Structure 1
């Protein structure tokens, strides 16, 4: 029997996502594990691999459409089967009776012309949230339906600019702005008539002015903002700072790079030292859960990677068992695919600890915000030359400051300090990193 493929929850707490691009076409044979689509979430673009084998019978969602997690996105079956052979697609109960959009079980959502391009078909139209006396069935994305409900927009009579008259977000936004304009004008009039405040106030919303341009938030930026606020308000942070002498570390790096074909970075050695410190102090390798504390058996470390208008933290698993060269290769691969939108779902999940390195920007020292569900993050500053005292004599050394942000629900101060001391020892005696 044909199988209905649904939008996966590609990130924790994700409720909706968009198909950025399909990696397959109708009629193609796919196997389990083969890339099916690139899915865009609030925080990243990840590659979604097929969980079933068979022939792609139908693509139910157009590229760029935002749909709820769990919504049907494709139908896969055996050669010769039709979409009608697919198991019925359960429909979630609408928030209110008027918002229901009847859809036939596994109904084809796209025509397939001779050129092989999927296009919305005339029978794939759900009823308009606005209703209307005509009762005509209209095709629109879940995002459009939600915006129409939230802003009480009647979509009857709206001509969609999408394929075959599909109503898309750009068709709704002008209606929302037009509806909000009278209310904003009324508020402006009230403000003009009211006495001037005696103290400065912060506006609840911002708008473009002659000397400022309003850049709308992306979904990624909104998610980052929400998660960081949750972290700072729900996770009790405390901070420990240490100063490492890294002359031996830099010399080891030079020797490794001179002898090998794969270049090793300082950050690779730092991440390897982080894993080594967890081997030395395993009681620090823990994370918080509602049911209890999770004791992790391997060092799964997330690496902060800056991308356009955001940050992602792909996870390298089992770092303690990797060679430095293999670790460097994996970090470079994850960072490159993070910037190009090629990360897979499992590569951005899990982990117990993060590393954020701003040393390459010349930042001497900083404190980072914990990335839940991790229990800590190490902020790494730039290496710099400075005077140091050795056996009562003054000499020039190379120093690097690091700051540990720790979750006090899981890590007590003594355990965190013990772990940080183990990390510094590994950095200052770098041959132990290779062990």
Structure 2
């Protein structure tokens, strides 16, 4: 029997991915550890290694295929002593497990409900029930209409006469897809429905019409990353009550310290950025105000004992947030070196899931683009994100005298379910103090 290569789960939340590129072809011999393919998850393109030895007998899923479910068979390998051509001619499993049940509807005890994606409660219930007993009218007779148990229950609910349908399943069997595409008709007489029962379900809605415009344009297919960003931002803005708190912060002392540290670190080829120091400041502030270093769940408040800072990095096609773990306990030189390495691998799509999934709070800096101030969207399940604006020369009161100083605006977005406004204000105050007197955070 050929060995089945299945779509791996490359992150804890991965449900499907894109088979971006095959690095082997049919007939190639592989051994454990060989890189076979590149798989695009929602945040990165990762390499898929072989764990078995043998010959690639058949590539089931061609490269460039989107939406390949985790666990779907993507290739077949002929083992030692096995004829690769015979293995290639064996029937290949469907590359999409979600549809696997459709072709098996004729087997005893199987209905479409267990294999169909996201069934409705009524469909799930129908799929879990045993087939109707032979004692019911019409069953066991040679002229009986052939239909799956789920199709019968759906037809009854929608008022569809099974005898008027042409089945598309094996041997003309009526399956779920036939019911979904049928219009309600005269229903067989059944017991009266409860008073609160809704009217028969309407026919399935037609697919959304494609976008049309007379303006010259290019239609670009959404990447897995863009789909994930859209889903998570929609979730965050629709379910998390954001509260925004803004402070103006004088940067002159931080810039002076950065220059001195870079002079001392030049021999080690380390060059600190302002962002490196702000990562450290946010981490230390979270340790001093632990009420903001939290995550909200429906029945618990998760309080973190260390500050892991997710840092927004723009990459081709989207945004990713590599994590500086234990940032409160690391020196700024270590943070700078780690952040440089993480950002470089992020732009190459080479981060591992644990390097961008998690974190206790986030920092997003758009000051390098000249953005004065903005409000960032919380990255769930975190409880806050700090948005950093550009440092610019402004009139500023220093020691009761109006002077020109380098000032930036920082805005904290807080999950108001988990963090009270007063606690958020305390965090912003501590963050401001650390940036304006930076020796306190590097000591």
Q: 2:53 aligns to what?
A: 55
3-state SS of 1:365 partner = coil
- Once residues 106 and 242 of structure 2 are traced to their aligned partners in structure 1, the CA distance between those partners, rounded to angstroms, is 46
Is residue 337–residue 343 contact of structure 1 (8 Å, CA) maintained in 2?
A: yes
2:287 to 279, 292, 297: 279
Q: 1:310 aligns to what?
A: 318
Q: 1:65 aligns to what?
A: 65
Is residue 301–residue 317 contact of structure 1 (8 Å, CA) maintained in 2?
A: yes
- TM-superposition CA deviations, 1:192-221 (whole Å, max 9, x none): xxxxxxxxxxx9863231455544433432
- Aligned pairs, how many? 340
Q: 1:296 aligns to what?
A: 304
Q: 1:378 aligns to what?
A: 386
Is residue 53–residue 76 contact of structure 1 (8 Å, CA) maintained in 2?
A: no
- Once residues 35 and 253 of structure 1 are traced to their aligned partners in structure 2, the CA distance between those partners, rounded to angstroms, is 43
Pair 57,276 (structure 1): closer, same or farther in 2 beyond 3 Å: farther
Task: Please show how residues 397-412 of structure 1 align to structure 2 within 5 Å.
Answer: 397-412=405-420
**TM-score after normalising by structure 1:** 0.67
Using the TM superposition, give the Cα deviation of residue 100 of structure 1 relative to its aligned residue in structure 2, in angstroms.
7.3
Pair 54,245 (structure 1): closer, same or farther in 2 beyond 3 Å: same
Is residue 23–residue 35 contact of structure 1 (8 Å, CA) maintained in 2?
A: yes
Pair 80,16 (structure 1): closer, same or farther in 2 beyond 3 Å: same
Is residue 295–residue 360 contact of structure 2 (8 Å, CA) maintained in 1?
A: yes
- TM-superposition CA deviations, 1:231-281 (whole Å, max 9, x none): 111111111111111111111111122222211111111111111112212
Q: Which region of structure 1 is more displaced relative to structure 2, 230-239 or 20-29?
A: 20-29
Pair 74,408 (structure 1): closer, same or farther in 2 beyond 3 Å: farther
Is residue 248–residue 429 contact of structure 1 (8 Å, CA) maintained in 2?
A: yes
**TM-score after normalising by structure 2:** 0.66
3-state SS of 1:297 partner = coil
The reply to whether residue 250 of structure 1 matches residue 248 of structure 2 is: no
- Once residues 441 and 55 of structure 2 are traced to their aligned partners in structure 1, the CA distance between those partners, rounded to angstroms, is 52
Q: 2:112 aligns to what?
A: none
Q: Rg: which structure is higher?
A: 2
Q: 1:330 aligns to what?
A: 338
3-state SS of 1:299 partner = coil
Is residue 46–residue 345 contact of structure 1 (8 Å, CA) maintained in 2?
A: no
The reply to whether residue 17 of structure 1 matches residue 17 of structure 2 is: yes
- Once residues 39 and 204 of structure 1 are traced to their aligned partners in structure 2, the CA distance between those partners, rounded to angstroms, is 31
- Once residues 291 and 349 of structure 2 are traced to their aligned partners in structure 1, the CA distance between those partners, rounded to angstroms, is 35
- Once residues 217 and 317 of structure 1 are traced to their aligned partners in structure 2, the CA distance between those partners, rounded to angstroms, is 31
Q: Which region of structure 1 is more displaced relative to structure 2, 310-319 or 62-71?
A: 62-71
Q: Which runs of 5+ in 2 are unaligned?
A: 108-166, 172-176, 182-205
Pair 235,9 (structure 1): closer, same or farther in 2 beyond 3 Å: farther
Q: 1:190 aligns to what?
A: none
Pair 284,94 (structure 1): closer, same or farther in 2 beyond 3 Å: same
Pair 57,296 (structure 1): closer, same or farther in 2 beyond 3 Å: farther
3-state SS of 1:230 partner = helix
Pair 398,330 (structure 1): closer, same or farther in 2 beyond 3 Å: same
Is residue 283–residue 328 contact of structure 2 (8 Å, CA) maintained in 1?
A: yes
Using the TM superposition, give the Cα deviation of residue 62 of structure 1 relative to its aligned residue in structure 2, in angstroms.
3.8
Pair 92,394 (structure 1): closer, same or farther in 2 beyond 3 Å: closer
Is residue 30–residue 56 contact of structure 1 (8 Å, CA) maintained in 2?
A: no
3-state SS of 1:382 partner = coil
2:423 to 388, 403, 415: 415
Is residue 292–residue 384 contact of structure 2 (8 Å, CA) maintained in 1?
A: no
Using the TM superposition, give the Cα deviation of residue 45 of structure 1 relative to its aligned residue in structure 2, in angstroms.
2.1
- Once residues 245 and 398 of structure 1 are traced to their aligned partners in structure 2, the CA distance between those partners, rounded to angstroms, is 6
Is residue 242–residue 416 contact of structure 2 (8 Å, CA) maintained in 1?
A: yes
Q: 1:433 aligns to what?
A: 441
Is residue 208–residue 214 contact of structure 1 (8 Å, CA) maintained in 2?
A: no
3-state SS of 2:282 partner = helix
3-state SS of 1:371 partner = coil
Q: 2:44 aligns to what?
A: 45
